[in-house]
Chain A
Amino acid sequence: MSKREGEGCPKRRAEAVQDGDMTSSPVIAAFKVFQQELDTKHDKYERLVKISRDVTIESKRTIFLLHRVTSVPDVEDVLKESDVKLDGVRQKIGQIAEELRGEDINQFHRAFTPGVQEYVEAVSFQHYIRHRTLISLEEINARLVFMKAEKVDPKGSADSLPMGAQVLTFQVMPSDYLLGVADLTGELMRMCISSVGNGDIDTPFQLSQFLRQIHDGFSYIGNTGPYEVSKKLHTLRQSLGKVEDACYTLRVRGSEIPKHMLADVFSSRAALIDPDEGVA
């Protein structure tokens, strides 16, 4: 199949113009309107994809930062730093909300869902480290309320009142929340392995319990959820298995292995974990 013929064939078009100038035909006029409508939509979509990519990158960086909590003395410092980063991410999500003002969110959902999922992953990871609980959808949404000082048109000169702050909200969809939480389990597994490596004996057991709860939750949802959930459930099982194995090893051999050797035992185990999973 040849490629789409571009502007390169004016001959045929010239032939088609038998009945006078085409440019004034109603069909062409209508298509000019469609062109504009489609371009506007595609532009918005592209802008959203770009913001979403930024949200993804910044969220990933926050997650990397949060993984340091297992190896630094002052957890609170890391958490504070991650707060700052997450504030930045939220600002970007505010831009998404701005783009979506007056639109049907679902129409552009595909453009920004990766970013939102990554944000859910980051924010729930931070929440877990801080509170040892699962962040709820409401709690996430509650932080995605943005105050936008309405910009008054320049022509509206001095006498126009400052419109006051305008409230803009972004609602994370339940499916995005679920997928983000599914990704969270991969991070928790990593955290478990690395905390063992640091001689932390309690965290792995807490984590295995938490992961089991999440796993049960996903099993409860089963195939009622979106298609991607069932795919992630498989990875979740693997993560859970690794954490459970780690706890098992700790229980069985913990008393035998000197603390300073634990790191070696587990770092060799961690190496067996495929490098690319849990990253996405």
Chain B
Amino acid sequence: MMSVTEMFSYIQGFLSADQDIREDIRKVVQALEQIAREILTVLQSVHQPSGFKEIPSKCAKARELFCTVRTHIADLKTKFPVEQYYRFHEHWRFVLQRLTFLAAFVVYLETETLVTREEVAQILSIEVVREKGFHLDVEDYLAGVLIMASELSRLAVNSVTAGDYNRPLRISNFINELDSGFRLLNLKNDPLRKRYDGLKYDVKKIEEVVYDLSIRGLAKEPESGGDK
């Protein structure tokens, strides 16, 4: 039979153990955020007029930096029991979404395709399914993809400035496909839904770029070549 005092100190034991874990996680997550910013800086240069030619080298550089990401994530995995992923999820949710975005952006720049969840997991050296360990939650993956969509709408604008008139058309097709994909989802009123609501503005912006290009006959799209 436990007294009230004993009971509370027993619970307190739980709570401080929990706090210690959170402290450890926070440290690793900080390191991850740091490296994510570095990768972003590398990739940001593609928006520069001169950066368009350097896309392959920038992507290669980014992929190198992902090695460090993998080390940090390996470190993160050791900080808590794997079956308690969602207990501490909020701590790395943000950075994992950023990293997904960065991975998706690299893959898009390289191949102009949408990164799969499996590919992201591979780049970050984590799992896809929860049962296998530290994994990429589907909502975080989708959030990362949405961040990339707004980055691409910016890229469309800047590629026109840099004189690349075809890229916006390709981006437009890509984003439209993404939009159709997201329309399939029944999103609840949650952060992901909120972020998805922003996608239409990205779509709109890219459409405007494509419009500007096509009325000036700058876009060399096979089918829409007739409009003047």
- Contacts from A to B (Cβ < 8 Å): 4-5, 7, 12-13, 15-16, 18-19, 22, 25-28, 30-32, 34-35, 37-39, 42, 104-107, 109, 133-134, 136-137, 174-175, 177-178, 210, 213-214, 216-218, 220-221, 224-225
Contact = CB atoms under 8 A, between A and B. Distances in A.
Given A31-B182, A42-B188, 10 more contacts: A13-B176, A16-B179, A31-B184, A38-B185, A133-B1, A137-B11, A178-B11, A217-B8, A220-B8, A224-B19
A220 B181 contact: no
Interface residues of B, number: 47
A25 B178 CA distance: 11
Q: What does DSSP make chain B's interface, helix, strand, loop or mixed? A: helix
Given A19-B173, A31-B185, A104-B85, A37 B8 contact: no
A214 B182 CA distance: 50
A220 B177 contact: no
14 contacts: A4-B197, A12-B203, A16-B173, A22-B177, A34-B185, A38-B139, A104-B85, A106-B84, A133-B3, A174-B14, A175-B15, A177-B11, A224-B12, A224-B15
B75 interface: no
Given A19-B173, A106-B87, A217-B8, A174 B185 contact: no
A225 B1 CA distance: 24
B84 A104 contact: yes
A20 to B, nearest CB: 11
B16 interface: yes
B208 interface: no
B114 interface: yes
Contacts of B116: 30
Nearest to B176: A16
